[in-house]
């Protein structure tokens, strides 16, 4: 029994002070005076949530847990521990592991490791193409059957329009979403940061905004022809926001996500050649941040993700040109989103929670993200007023490649409950 919290359940339009009762791993009641008869016969653990927000378990549909292949950077066990500490009761692993997740057995392997870790629910997307080479479709049907929640070649975009068209048609047969890391390589080349004034100053090859926008535009044409569900991953430019706006006006089945990095940091951060700011898509400009925030305020963005991308310090210590892309960001995601969106008034708490629960659950087609009676007892309790400093040395993640170390943020995860079990507690 979670008592006296501010219960925010956007899917059921709930935002009020009340109790949440979980029995046998499922939501039994949400109300002011819970009177379930089973309370009289069973031992009931009571959690006092006075002053706290009680939310459906948070869902992050874009993480990299590096297993199999790079277990020194992250494992499904360490990533899952990080996830619950960050309030996430469900995560979706990206398939760009080594080897990639591209058949039924690979999907089952991720699920099994997730169950063994016994922290967060672990889902995975499968690769769109074999070995993520963009040529031949992977075993999408078998992966769908094994429970893959969608497909992506994340880390790369599918370059050939005909391959992408086939992938969309094929995925539609299983009603699975195709997600794209929009990046046209002919524009991106071997770029390592945003193309513009700062890349010129630093003498580094740039990635033009067009790399993202050209592929997103092309994909929107394919969706127009097929009317198949499509998800644009980590959009980062004003032009992409505009393309999404136009596509949604036409009611195309298109969704998109953003990361905190593209809302809080600009290309200017790369001035010190600090590789913790090297991500893909690259950090852009103030104008892009403004456009993304406007898109979020308008309801054009469907999911807030971390794109948690852990890397070894030895790799991130390479020169900017050679270091891998990515930021370890799972464990600071909530605080960062409060800073990026709630503090400047872009979203209120119900708006933020909706983009971290109900909407992402819909994209991946799982029956989660609400506190409806009978749903799985996944709950996140957040102290919205707690102020603290991000400390990478406290991360459960194996990696520390995070530019937010020392940032002062507000909004802290207190408890994470998965299937009725307390899997993380801050005290
Ligand atoms: Zn990506
Ligand atoms: Zn990614």
Distance between Cα 38 and ligand 2 center (Å): 44
**pTM for this predicted structure:** 0.98
Q: Say if residue 148's pLDDT is above 80.
A: yes
pLDDT in tens, 342-390: 999 999 999 999 999 999 999 999 999 999 999 999 999 999 999 999 9
> What's residue 197's pLDDT?
95
Over range 131-159, report the average pLDDT.
98
Q: Is the pLDDT of residue 395 over 90?
A: yes
- Nearest bound ligand to CA 327? 2
Mean pLDDT of 28-54: 87
Q: Is 104 helix (H, G, I), strand (E, B) or coil?
A: helix
The strand pair at 53-56 and 379-389 is best described as antiparallel
Q: Residue 175's pLDDT is what?
A: 95
Angle made by CA atoms 42, 45, 50, in degrees to the nearest 5: 135
The one catalytic residue in 288, 307, 378, 383 is 307
Using pLDDT thresholds of 50, 70 and 90, give the confidence band for residue 38.
confident
Report pLDDT for 44. Answer: 87
- 3-class DSSP assignment, residue 135: coil
Write out the two tokens for 136.
């031949």
The whole-angstrom separation of Cα 211 and Cα 209 is 5
307 is an active site residue: yes
Computed over every residue of the chain, the mean pLDDT equals 97
DSSP 8-class letter at 392: G
DSSP classification of residue 308: B
> What confidence tens digit (pLDDT) does each residue in 51-80 have?
999 999 999 999 999 999 999 999 999 999
CA of 281 to the centre of ligand 1 (A): 7
Average pLDDT over residues 137-150: 98
pLDDT in tens, 250-308: 999 999 999 999 999 999 999 999 999 999 999 999 999 999 999 999 999 999 999 99
Q: Is the pLDDT score of 427 beyond 90?
A: no
The rounded Å distance from CA 201 to ligand 2 centre is: 28
Residue 42 binned pLDDT confidence (cut-offs 50, 70, 90):
confident
Ligand 2 center–CA 90 separation, angstroms: 16
Q: How many CA atoms lie within 13 A of 402 on its CB side?
A: 26
User: Which listed ligand is nearest to 183 at the C-alpha?
Assistant: 1
The predicted structure's pLDDT at residue 37: 77
DSSP 174: T
Q: What integer pLDDT is reported at residue 424 of this predicted model?
A: 98
Q: Given the structure tokens 């959009």, which residue do they identify?
A: 235
Helix, strand, coil in percent for the chain, rounding step 5: 35, 25, 40
Question: Which ligand number lies closest to the CA of residue 64?
Answer: 2
Contact 115, 147 (CB under 8 A): no
Q: Is the pLDDT of residue 134 over 90?
A: yes
């Amino acid at each position: 029994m979670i008592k006296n919290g501010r219960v925010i359940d956007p899917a059921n339009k709930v935002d009020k002070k009340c109790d949440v009762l979980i029995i046998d791993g499922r939501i039994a009641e949400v109300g002011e005076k819970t009177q379930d008869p089973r309370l009289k016969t069973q031992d009931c653990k009571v959690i006092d949530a006075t002053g706290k927000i009680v939310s459906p378990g948070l869902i992050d549909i874009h993480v990299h847990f590096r297993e199999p292949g790079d277990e020194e950077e992250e494992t499904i066990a360490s990533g899952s521990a990080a996830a619950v500490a960050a309030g996430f009761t469900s995560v979706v692993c990206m398939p760009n592991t080594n080897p990639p997740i591209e058949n039924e057995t690979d999907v089952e392997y991720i699920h099994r490791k997730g169950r063994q870790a016994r922290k967060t629910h672990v889902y995975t997307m499968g690769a769109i193409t074999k070995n993520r080479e963009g040529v031949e479709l992977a075993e999408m049907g078998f992966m769908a059957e094994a429970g893959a929640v969608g497909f992506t070649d994340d880390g790369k975009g599918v370059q050939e329009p005909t391959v992408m068209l086939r992938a969309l048609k094929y995925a539609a047969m299983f009603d699975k979403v195709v997600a794209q890391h929009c990046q046209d390589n002919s524009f991106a080349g071997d770029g390592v940061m945003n193309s513009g004034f700062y890349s010129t100053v630093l003498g580094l090859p740039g990635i033009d905004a067009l790399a993202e926008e050209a592929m997103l535009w092309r994909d929107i044409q394919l969706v127009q022809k097929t009317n198949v569900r499509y998800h644009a991953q980590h959009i980062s430019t004003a032009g992409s926001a505009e393309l999404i706006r136009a596509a949604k006006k036409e009611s195309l089945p298109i969704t998109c996500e953003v990361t905190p990095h593209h809302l809080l940091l600009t290309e200017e951060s790369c001035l010190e050649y600090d590789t913790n700011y090297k991500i893909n898509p690259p950090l852009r400009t103030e104008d892009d941040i403004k456009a993304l925030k406007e898109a979020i305020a308008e309801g054009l963005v469907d999911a807030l993700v971390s794109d948690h991308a852990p890397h070894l310090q030895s790799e991130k210590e390479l020169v900017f040109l050679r270091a891998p892309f990515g930021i370890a960001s799972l464990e600071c995601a909530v605080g960062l989103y409060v800073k990026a969106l709630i503090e400047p008034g872009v979203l209120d708490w119900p708006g933020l929670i909706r983009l971290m629960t109900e909407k992402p659950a819909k994209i991946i087609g799982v029956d989660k993200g609400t506190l409806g009676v009978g749903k799985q007892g996944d709950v996140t309790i957040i102290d919205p007023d707690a102020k603290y400093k991000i400390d990478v040395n406290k991360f459960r993640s194996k990696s520390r490649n995070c530019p937010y170390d020392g940032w002062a943020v507000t909004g802290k995860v207190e408890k994470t409950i998965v299937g009725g079990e307390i899997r993380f507690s801050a005290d």
